[in-house]
Amino acid sequence: MVDEVPGLQNGAHVLRLSGPVILTTLAEFQLKVLADHSHNLILDFTDVPYVDSAGIGILVRVYLRHQRDECGLSLVGVNSRVRAALEIAHIDRFFRFFDNLEVAQANHIPS
């Protein structure tokens, strides 16, 4: 499930994910995240227990879409299992990681 977090500061757009980001759950995530055209996208992974290769693939696509943005793409609340999957795939360096949403918002420049 993917929910938009309303009323954020600094022009940041937050999508809060819940559940595993895997092939069978990817459709909603893919639709919402690829439809996002903000320059400050934050993905909240606090409630994501793991990702599979399909989930990693969509994260690469999202990164490519946001790589030229001033703030790019940030991930919040990534657990050790998800972080390890991103490291194994050698894509962890594509993202800015924050422990929580408040810290991520504070590090985004107003658009």
pLDDT: which is higher, 77 or 4: 77
Task: Say if 111 falls within a structural domain.
Answer: no
Q: Sheet harboring 72-76: ordered strands across?
A: 2-5, 13-18, 40-47, 72-76, 96-98
Angle, CA 26 vertex, CA 94 and CA 50 arms, to 5°: 60
Q: Can you give the pLDDT at residue 111? A: 43
Kindly state the average pLDDT of the residues 21-47.
88
Task: Say if 32 falls within a structural domain.
Answer: yes
Task: Say if 24 falls within a structural domain.
Answer: yes
pLDDT over 80 (residue 8): no
Model pLDDT for residues 37-64, shown as the tens digit of each residue? 777 889 999 999 999 999 999 999 888 8
Model pLDDT for residues 57-73, shown as the tens digit of each residue? 999 988 888 877 666 78
- Number of domain units in the chain: 1
Model pLDDT for residues 72-92, shown as the tens digit of each residue? 789 999 999 999 999 999 999
CATH number at residue 9: 3.30.750.24
Q: Is the four-CA dihedral 87, 80, 29, 96 of positive or negative sign?
A: negative
Task: Say if 68 falls within a structural domain.
Answer: yes
Q: Which domain holds residue 71?
A: 2-106
pTM to 2 decimal places: 0.86
DSSP codes of every residue in 35-62 = H---SEEEEEEEE---B-HHHHHHHHHH
